[in-house]
Structure 1
Amino acid sequence: MTVADADGATTTVSPGENNMVTKFTVTNSSNAVLDFGLAVAQQTGNAGAHSNTDSFDATNLRIYVDNGDGVFNSGTDTLVSYIDELAADASKTVFVVSDIPLSLATGSVAAVTLTATAREGGTSGSQGNVVTQTSGANTSGMDTVFADAGGATDAQYDGMHSAKDDYTVFAAALSVIKTSTVINDPVNGTTNPKAIPGATLEYCIIVSNAAGSATATGVTVSDPLPSTVTYVADSTYLNGSVTSGVCNSDGSLGGTFSAGTVSGTLSNIAASDTKTLRFRATIN
């Protein structure tokens, strides 16, 4: 039999994603109907499958046999530990499905190995016994001779075959800067205002995504205010822009203020892009 990486490339994932798929093909190259026991193993370090190096483990690994459409769907594909009754010269697509931990940097790699072991004698719906070679001289019946090649982690002529595939993380790389500007005070107005009691401050939280990073989605900003200031109602603006490190007076009115904390969710932040959350407070 043969097990082969059906993707031909790494599977790109983001930190925290679930049900991510690597795709294999298992082929019965013998001249008999066989079952194939399936096992998936994590790699610990060393070379991955696609000119990269394993550096983390995915979680919750599962194996599914495709229903024939070549696309993973947990509702229509079958969660299995073996391929049942695979005809001679036939192939099955097998999906290894896993979850990706959250705290990972771009370029992190998780390599996985799928191994298929030839089994025979089981009826439809039950797994047969591990195939063994015919010992001794040629017999009058059907002799079994292993002809499998060495795989990713198994030897030649061992009645099994294995192949690698891997996941590569493509993550957002966010940085945050908070600035404050005195807008006015009760003595000087807007002319050279000072941070004195009664003055209005404008805070701006700048969120930037580094060049070459994945788009950041679902970015929520929360800023608990100290007791020395009072939030100015309806002063929060989201998704503003920055010019030369200075926040512009733009964006859309939004966000919330609750339990002393200003919060808001920004739109997706692409690589090399910046968005802001801006609001005002007065000094007590």
Structure 2
Amino acid sequence: MNNNTKLLGSAATLSLLLGASPALAAGTAAGLSVTNTVTVNYQVGGVSQTAQTASDTFTVDRKVNVTVAEVGTTTTTVSPGQAAAVTTFQVTNLSNATLDFALAVAQQTGGAGAHGNTDSFDATNVRIYVDTDSSGTFNAGDILVTYLDELAADASKTVFVVSDIPLGQTTGAVAAVTLTATGRESGTAAAQGAALTETTTGNTGGMDTVFADGAGASDATRDAAYSAKDDYTVSAAALTITKRSTLVSDPLNGTTNPKYIPGAVIEYCITVANAAGNASATNVGISDALPSEVTYLSSFGIKVDGTVNGSNVCLADGAVAGSFAGTTVSGTIPTVAASATRTVLFRATIN
């Protein structure tokens, strides 16, 4: 602080003139020189004298503060084997200066996720993108980054953590991720600035640096960083496949107590059951290679997407679809919802 004072010889009337700048939510900009000038008018023997002034100037110090927040309030639902699964965060610079922010994402090993769940697996190919078009939605134009460049005071950026989900995960499996943003010096555009250093000595005449951030999900208070969690929760199908054969007729007994003899007709039923509480399975492709001992019966056709009765016996209510090529019967069931059972039904004769 610089002081300029003068001793006056009589009582005086004081007038205070303050210089001011517009205030931001983050506060007055760091590095700004703030000057305060006092003017004193007085008289001697009833005659007005030349006014006297004194001023004080100080430099506004840099207050470093940042928050990271999950966008939304629910977990990100994913499928086993899903590529480019997205969870979204917002990074806000609450500092009174433009800064760069280093970005890092970490995966948990067990422990609580962000939404009352428990981490149980790791995602793969985890990377960070910045929302370049401010759409709030991850798209092909967004840029892979390791830091946010020149984020102004009071400004925010949407950041996407994008991961791949391994195959084989079951419903309810959770991969928790933590995004951390750490303040860096504002340097050259398109180049990450140096690490920030907090001023720990007494106030200097220049711009000091004070860390003012709170504690995030995995970082401490006043460390120039902030972290927040989000997670991926798997919604999978749990399919049980069965195949059973039923004798329809034979050449000697017809449909009355038929036997597995050459020329007998067999009905094959393939069932696909999806357990309760799971995601629907879609485009369920059936491929059944017949053994050389039987011959596909084309006159019956392939009945796809049929149902079963209460005794889990296949009904012949599917649509005639599917195909037969070489020795293989094929058919596609469009959807098997949770708690549902769908079938593929066809017939063959014993050679």
Same fold (TM over 0.5): yes
Matched letter for residue 79 of structure 1: L
Moved more, 115-124 or 97-106: 115-124
Matched residue, 1:240 = 306
- The superposition leaves residues 118-141 of structure 1 with CA deviations (integer Å, 9 ceiling, x where unpaired) of 011322211111111123111111
- The superposition leaves residues 232-261 of structure 1 with CA deviations (integer Å, 9 ceiling, x where unpaired) of 236212101111211111212222333433
Matched residue, 1:266 = 333
Matched-pair identity in %:
64
Question: Equivalents in 2 of 1:236, 1:199: separation in Å?
Answer: 18
Question: Equivalents in 1 of 2:177, 2:163: separation in Å?
Answer: 10
Task: Figure out how many residues of one structure are paired with residues of the other and give that number.
Answer: 283
User: Is 1:84 aligned to 2:156, yes or no?
Assistant: no
> For 2:181, which of 107, 111, 116 is the aligned residue?
116
By how many angstroms is 1:227 displaced?
Answer: 2.1
Q: TM-score under structure 2 normalisation?
A: 0.78
Question: Equivalents in 1 of 2:79, 2:137: separation in Å?
Answer: 20
Matched letter for residue 104 of structure 1: Q
Q: Is the 8 A contact 1:241 1:276 kept in 2?
A: yes
- Which consecutive residues of structure 2, in runs of 5 or more, have no partner in the other structure? 1-65
Q: Is the 8 A contact 2:101 2:182 kept in 1?
A: yes
Question: Equivalents in 1 of 2:199, 2:326: separation in Å?
Answer: 76
- Which consecutive residues of structure 1, in runs of 5 or more, have no partner in the other structure? none
> For 2:214, which of 149, 153, 160 is the aligned residue?
149
Matched residue, 1:12 = 77
Matched residue, 2:60 = none
Matched residue, 1:275 = 342
Question: Equivalents in 2 of 1:165, 1:89: separation in Å?
Answer: 23
Matched letter for residue 70 of structure 1: G
- The superposition leaves residues 133-157 of structure 1 with CA deviations (integer Å, 9 ceiling, x where unpaired) of 1231111111100011111111111
Matched letter for residue 227 of structure 1: S
> For 2:195, which of 130, 133, 147 is the aligned residue?
130
SS of corresponding position for 2:281: coil
- The superposition leaves residues 24-51 of structure 1 with CA deviations (integer Å, 9 ceiling, x where unpaired) of 1111010000010101111111111111
Alignment of 1:32-47 (within 5 A): 32-47=97-112
Question: Equivalents in 1 of 2:327, 2:292: separation in Å?
Answer: 8
By how many angstroms is 1:68 displaced?
Answer: 0.8
User: Is 1:69 aligned to 2:135, yes or no?
Assistant: yes
Matched residue, 2:113 = 48
Question: Equivalents in 2 of 1:138, 1:214: separation in Å?
Answer: 61
By how many angstroms is 1:98 displaced?
Answer: 0.6
Question: Equivalents in 1 of 2:316, 2:176: separation in Å?
Answer: 47
Matched residue, 2:16 = none
Matched letter for residue 267 of structure 1: P
By how many angstroms is 1:230 displaced?
Answer: 1.4
Matched residue, 1:254 = 321
SS of corresponding position for 2:246: strand
By how many angstroms is 1:185 displaced?
Answer: 0.9
Select the structure with the greater relative contact order (CA < 8 A; seq sep ≥ 6): 1
Question: Equivalents in 2 of 1:195, 1:123: separation in Å?
Answer: 83
By how many angstroms is 1:276 displaced?
Answer: 0.5
Question: Equivalents in 2 of 1:57, 1:148: separation in Å?
Answer: 29
Matched letter for residue 244 of structure 2: T
Question: Equivalents in 1 of 2:303, 2:320: separation in Å?
Answer: 4
Question: Equivalents in 1 of 2:293, 2:250: separation in Å?
Answer: 15
- The superposition leaves residues 75-99 of structure 1 with CA deviations (integer Å, 9 ceiling, x where unpaired) of 1222111111111011111110111
Q: TM-score under structure 1 normalisation?
A: 0.96
Matched residue, 2:167 = 102
Matched residue, 2:9 = none
Runs of 4+ in 1 over 3 A off after TM superposition: none
Question: Equivalents in 2 of 1:44, 1:105: separation in Å?
Answer: 18
Question: Equivalents in 1 of 2:209, 2:77: separation in Å?
Answer: 41
The structure number with the bigger radius of gyration is 2
Matched letter for residue 41 of structure 1: A
User: Is 1:160 aligned to 2:236, yes or no?
Assistant: no
Q: Is the 8 A contact 1:7 1:22 kept in 2?
A: no
Question: Equivalents in 2 of 1:5, 1:184: separation in Å?
Answer: 64
Question: Equivalents in 2 of 1:43, 1:281: separation in Å?
Answer: 54
Question: Equivalents in 1 of 2:164, 2:260: separation in Å?
Answer: 50
Q: Is the 8 A contact 2:150 2:186 kept in 1?
A: no
Q: Is the 8 A contact 2:98 2:186 kept in 1?
A: no
By how many angstroms is 1:183 displaced?
Answer: 1.3
